[in-house]
């Protein structure tokens, strides 16, 4: 019996094998998704878990090239690599076990998330209303001023 190859994405029998392991339609669809993900990283400085899943369908070299392109573009922003850019690059790096040495880039700082700045009259920990000159949050005890020591 002749062995049939099926598209890994939609399961259709592959008549045209030039887009292996996908059919032409799925290959084009995936390429489009890949480009969209690249744009999203650059615009929103974010990569979603669903997008990581899509990228997993691509070759390592595609991912490395993607990383290098977004790294270069993000580095060229005014003021250089921003923290939010480093967060998304770190996520991409760890999701695909990439190494700076293989990518030919400088070691990335270990920033995995950014605590969003809250209004000054709100405790960043428990969100309760506080006075700006408080040292500690009266509700949860969170240290509001970094330069004071607790238990003095």
Q: CA of 27: how far to CAs of 5, 18, 33, 49, 54, in Å?
A: 15, 10, 10, 21, 12
Q: Is 10 near Zn ion (CB under 5 A)? A: yes
Q: Is 14 near Zn ion (CB under 5 A)? A: no
Residue 101 burial (CB count, 10 A): 8
Q: Is 123 near Zn ion (CB under 5 A)? A: yes
The residue from 23, 41, 47, 55 that contacts Zn ion (CB under 5 A) is: 23
CA distance 123 to 134: 10
State the minimum distance, in angstroms, from the CB of residue 104 to Zn ion. 34
State the minimum distance, in angstroms, from the CB of residue 105 to Zn ion. 35
Residue 33 CA, distance from chain mean position: 15
**Near Zn ion by CB under 5 A, which window of 35-43, 81-89, 103-111, 119-127?**
119-127
Tell the residue number behind the tokens 């998704």, with chain if given.
33
Instruction: Give the bridge partners for 129, in sequence order.
Output: 122
Q: Is 92 near Zn ion (CB under 5 A)? A: no
If the CB atoms of residues 78 and 132 are measured against Zn ion, the closer one turns out to be 132
CA distance 103 to 69: 11
Q: Is 139 near Zn ion (CB under 5 A)? A: yes
Q: Is 118 near Zn ion (CB under 5 A)? A: no
Q: Is 9 near Zn ion (CB under 5 A)? A: yes
If the CB atoms of residues 33 and 40 are measured against Zn ion, the closer one turns out to be 33
CA distance 93 to 108: 10
Residues at the interface with Zn ion (CB under 5 A): 7, 9-10, 23, 26, 123, 125-126, 137, 139-140, 142
């Amino acid at each position: 019996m002749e062995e049939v190859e099926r598209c890994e994405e939609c399961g259709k029998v592959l008549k045209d094998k030039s887009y292996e392991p996908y059919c032409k339609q799925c290959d084009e669809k995936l390429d489009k998704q890949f480009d969209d993900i690249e744009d999203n990283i650059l615009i929103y400085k974010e990569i979603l878990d669903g997008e990581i899943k899509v990228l997993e369908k691509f070759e390592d070299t595609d991912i490395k090239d993607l990383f290098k392109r977004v790294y270069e573009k993000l580095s060229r922003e005014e003021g250089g690599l921003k923290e939010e850019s480093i967060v998304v690059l770190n996520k991409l790096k760890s999701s695909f076990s990439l190494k700076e040495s293989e990518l030919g880039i400088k070691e990335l700082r270990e920033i995995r998330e950014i605590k969003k700045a809250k209004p000054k009259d709100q405790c960043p920990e428990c969100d309760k209303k506080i006075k700006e000159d408080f040292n500690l949050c009266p509700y949860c005890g969170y240290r509001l001023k970094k330069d004071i020591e607790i238990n003095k």
